[in-house]
Amino acid sequence: MQTLVKIVDRFAQILMAISIVLAAVMMIHVTIDVLLSQFIAEPMPATVDLVSFYYMVGLVFLPLAFVETKNEHIDVDLIHAVLPQGGKKALDLMALTFSMIYFGLLTYQSGIDAIEKYQLGEYTMGLVNVTIWPGRFALPIGCGTLTLVLLLKLIRRPFTDEHMKSDPHHIPTEEGI
Amino acid sequence: MSFFQTGLTGIVVVILLVLLRVPIAVSLGLVSFVGFWFMLGSTAAWGLLTAVPYDFAAHWTLSSIPMFLLMGYVCYQTELTKGIFKAARAWLSFLPGGLAIASIFGAALFSAAAGSSLACAAAMGRIAVPEMLQRKYDPGLSASVVAAAGTMGSLIPPSIILILFGIFAEVGISKLFLGGIFPGILTMLGYSIVILIRCSINPKLAPPVEEKITNRDRFMALTETWPVILLIIGVFGGLFAGIFTPTEAGATGAAMSFIIGAANRKLNWKVARIALIDTAKTTAAIFIIAVGANLFTRFLAISGVPAAMSATVIEFGASYLILVLGTAIIFLLLGMILDPLGIMLLTLPILLPIFEASGISLIWFGLLVTKLVEMALITPPVGLNVFVIKGIVGDAIPISMIFKGVIWFLVADVFVLALMIAFPEIVLFLPELGQ
């Protein structure tokens, strides 16, 4: 069990690492595009397509599992905070189950869609044709890993709440991973 | 069960799940999926999951959110805030409560580089609160002023809340940003007046700063701030002049803040990595809720609940004022349990059609919503900005003392809100100027 948790957490970290590279590349790509179109009047090809269908999709779905390992998905603590241990456990089990179902559904459907678009070889038509189906796989990969993280948390929850502790969300961190 | 009843049930179930600590994103999404299945069958429900999440994320306009987040986090991590506060202090510390007023002006300036209230409160809190405590300022005042000042983060552009509102309401982001400028300045002045009055009546709250500050010091302090001011002018000048799209403004702003950080020798690999991690984490956490809200909007639209509600409101002849006050009450109630993003994304699917049908400017409505959710950031029991400051000051100041200090600033907020309602031009003047 411990090793399984470690493997999945590690994978979530790798997805997170990919996301931060995407964020950096997106910033650099768009900045260069701005400079080129202002000064040479020749923008980078396919900026809008790359930003929308690769960087954004990756940046939204790939960090999901990592955010869950840090318990930083946004929820409301009001009732949970005042309950005794048993009540806390019951609410946690319910929240984890519902979350797992929802992201399981998303994984399943987005996986089917991704494979379908891969078979079609989905691309956008513009000045240049951009193949965009690979970006689709960010959804099943991101949501699938998140579903796994949730499942492992659910299995452990009856015995301990060590893995449920959270820092307040979207406040700048001092330390990092 | 009719469509209408399914819609109403959906709203109740979402609220229930959220209260029971099911993540907001999951509550919204799961209820929408099940609701679609009830009303239109399984094909429609699966179709919803095919259409929304991918299309919502693969979105050019929304890509400005991670870029503005990055810009703010880089400014935060490379301690650009320190220079801002130092300059504000040099110019304002002669006033009664000068350091507190300086932290408000500093926060306002930082708000123009960062899109989130929490980041703004955290940034100012780290620098200004220790300084005020050292000068024997009242602890409640020191902590509460920074918690309140942080709320300008979402009013003063860039603003994550306003970008999301713009997407849901289909209003231009630049117009919303322009609309935020005057309410932001009013809030800044309102807070400053509160401090001036309180510290004039009771000088013990804020003993005057002893050290002599010469004009030379004042201009020296400015030299440290000019890169930030240049950054802000560059980003928003370009955006409002129509040279940049919001994404381009955010990306160049982020790149510029990296360069300024490097020039100040504050940039290293660790700092850059943390800023990028925070950007990715926050983007994912925000977007997954927004995806849920988008699913929920479609579910409610099919159920016909929002249409029926706006018809009722119009038939009832609800005046502008009643509508606005009703919204304010709903937001303040929700603000007791939810964070700003949650409040806005939960209520927009219902409120937007009502306001749209009543012919109220959606730009103005966007700023009203922003001001209200920002006030919720400092109202108990869930005042996230207060928690952020509490996290920074640790055991030095009890949380009840911070909430008590915040009440004064809420009074100023009510005045600003009243002005916005009485004179919508405060919001609409700048956005309409460009037309």
- Band of pLDDT at residue A170, cut at 50, 70 and 90: very low
- Cβ distance of A170 and B118 shorter than 8 Å: yes
Helices (H), B78-214: 80-92, 98-111, 117-134, 139-150, 160-169, 173-201
pLDDT at A176: 35
A123-124 and A130-131 strand pairing: antiparallel
Instruction: Give yes or no for a contact between B227 and B263, defined as CB atoms under 8 angstroms apart.
Output: yes
Burial of A13 (0-12, 13-18, 19+ CB in 10 A): middle
Closest-CA distance, B213 to chain A, in angstroms, reads: 33
pLDDT at B377: 86
In angstroms, rounded to a whole number, what is the distance separating the alpha carbons of residues B29 and A110? 14
| Chain A contact present for B387, CB below 8 A | yes
pLDDT in tens, B270-311: 999 999 999 999 999 999 999 999 999 999 999 988 888 888
pLDDT at A166: 66
Residues in A closer than 8 angstroms to B338, CB to CB, are 76
Mean pLDDT value of segment B171-197:
95
In angstroms, rounded to a whole number, what is the distance separating the alpha carbons of residues B80 and B59? 31
pLDDT in tens, B210-225: 777 788 888 888 877 8
| Chain B contact present for A136, CB below 8 A | yes
pLDDT in tens, B52-96: 999 999 988 899 999 999 999 998 888 887 888 888 888 898 899
Query: Which structure tokens are listed for B236?
Result: 């928003």
- Band of pLDDT at residue A173, cut at 50, 70 and 90: low
- Cβ distance of A27 and B251 shorter than 8 Å: yes
| Chain B contact present for A141, CB below 8 A | no
| Chain B contact present for A57, CB below 8 A | yes
In angstroms, rounded to a whole number, what is the distance separating the alpha carbons of residues B312 and B304? 12
> How many DSSP H helices and E strands does chain B contain?
20, 0
- Cβ distance of B277 and A173 shorter than 8 Å: yes
- Cβ distance of A106 and B341 shorter than 8 Å: no
| Chain A contact present for B285, CB below 8 A | yes
Closest-CA distance, B316 to chain A, in angstroms, reads: 34
Instruction: Show which of residues 351-380 on chain B sit within 8 Å of chain A, judged by CB atoms.
Output: none
| Helix (H) or strand (E) segment spanning residue A119 | helix A85-120
Instruction: Show which of residues 7-46 on chain A sit within 8 Å of chain B, judged by CB atoms.
Output: 16, 19-20, 22-24, 26-31, 33-34, 38
Angle at B143 between CA B116 and CA B156, to 5 degrees: 25
Handedness of CA A48, A52, A53, A59 (dihedral sign): positive
Chain B interface disruption, residue of A56, A93, A175, most B CBs within 10 A? A56
State the average pLDDT for chain A: 89
| Dihedral pair phi/psi, residue B266, rounded to 5° | -110, -5
Q: Which residue in chain A has the smallest CA separation from B342?
A: A74
- Cβ distance of A98 and B27 shorter than 8 Å: yes
Instruction: Give yes or no for a contact between B380 and B352, defined as CB atoms under 8 angstroms apart.
Output: no
| pLDDT above 80 (res A78) | no
Q: How many CB pairs under 8 A join A and B?
A: 209
| pLDDT above 60 (res A168) | no
DSSP state of B113: T
Chain B interface disruption, residue of A64, A67, A74, most B CBs within 10 A? A74
pLDDT in tens, A4-45: 999 999 999 999 999 999 999 999 999 999 999 888 877 777
